[in-house]
Amino acid sequence: MNYNIKLRNSPLYILTEDLSFFYRINKELNKLKIPFKILNLNKIITRHSNLILTTSAELKFVKGNNNESIILAYSSDETFDNYIIKVLAAVRIGYKHYYSNLLFSVDPGKRTGLMIFLDDFYLYSYCCFKPAEVIYNIIRYIECFQKENPNPMNISIKLGNGVYSIIRYLIEKIYQVYEKRKNLEILLIDEFRSSKIKISQKKKPYKLSKDEFSALILALRSGIEVDQDNYLTILNQYGRNWQNGEERILLKSEKLKNHTSVVGEIALKIVDGELSLNSASEELKRLNLLK
């Protein structure tokens, strides 16, 4: 059965008598600010759009009472980190056996913003203090979702053009790891005014950094694709001629000054899961804020 169920507004349950598992999952869900309920193994849940977290050892007991629920069972054969990422995906995107697309958007700098999108929806983000942290997170998310997926996922990596040394480092490391991988694209993105968007996080359970939100704005933009053979040439030429390049695509500067709050509201809707990346881009185009 190919489940694809939106679970954002449905309750999340933990059913386990394993105290070690409960302690770990409780800690991570609280850190991610994901609400959940605790039930005992004999409780029958009749709603169909439920996500139940348990252990593989307790799976047979949970399945017996909850045939219509989606059950994610943790096994010691996988890392707990990967398990949490899969839980996060089920909650924020909707459960699927296999996902198709991963997009990483990077705003390089002293603090590098990294936004991760799964099947066109926001999954998670980081504020990284070293370029190596960016590579580490890109690798672990790809490995998590590709590991059991028989189909090669489409991987897109959008890099802001701000810091040459960081961009070059990231591209070189990505190609070292994924030298022979198909379905991988790297795009250079214009950073023009990406950090000027007004975003109010008041009354929000999360507090994302300006670097993360800058990476989000970059994710909405088109750019210039590079490959292993031409990236150094394009980095050098594109960097020098960026301001006058005919290929430049960005949030329109003359509009942006007066509409930063509108763009900020749309950005928050992406983070809240109300809009996919593609839907947000279409909305910005409709408002004449995106070329």
Q: Taking a C-beta distance cutoff of 8 angstroms, is the pair 45, 69 a contact?
A: yes
Q: Give the position of tokens 């924020």.
A: 92
Indicate the domain borders of the chain.
Answer: 12-92, 101-286
What digits encode the pLDDT tens for the residues 134-146? 999 999 999 999 9
3-class state of residue 191 by DSSP: coil
Letter string b/e over residues 158-193, b meaning 16 or more CB atoms within 10 A of that residue's CB: bbbbbbeebbbbbbebbbeebeeeeebebbbbbbbb
- Region 6-14: what's the mean pLDDT? 68
Q: Which amino acid is at 242?
A: W
What digits encode the pLDDT tens for the residues 107-128? 999 999 999 999 999 999 999 9
* CATH among 1.10.167.10, 3.40.50.300, 3.30.1360.170, 3.40.50.2300 for 12-92: 3.40.50.2300
Instruction: Please give the biggest Cα pair distance in the chain.
Output: 67
| pLDDT range class, residue 260, cuts 50, 70, 90 | low
pTM of model > 0.85: yes
Least confident of 29-38, 67-76, 243-252: 243-252
- CA triple 253-258-261, angle to 5 deg: 105
Instruction: Give the percent of the chain with pLDDT over 70.
Output: 78
Q: Give the position of tokens 């190596």.
A: 132
Q: What is the pLDDT of residue 4?
A: 44
CATH superfamily for domain 101-286: YqgF/RNase H-like domain (3.30.420.140)
Output the six-digit token pair for 179: 């030298």
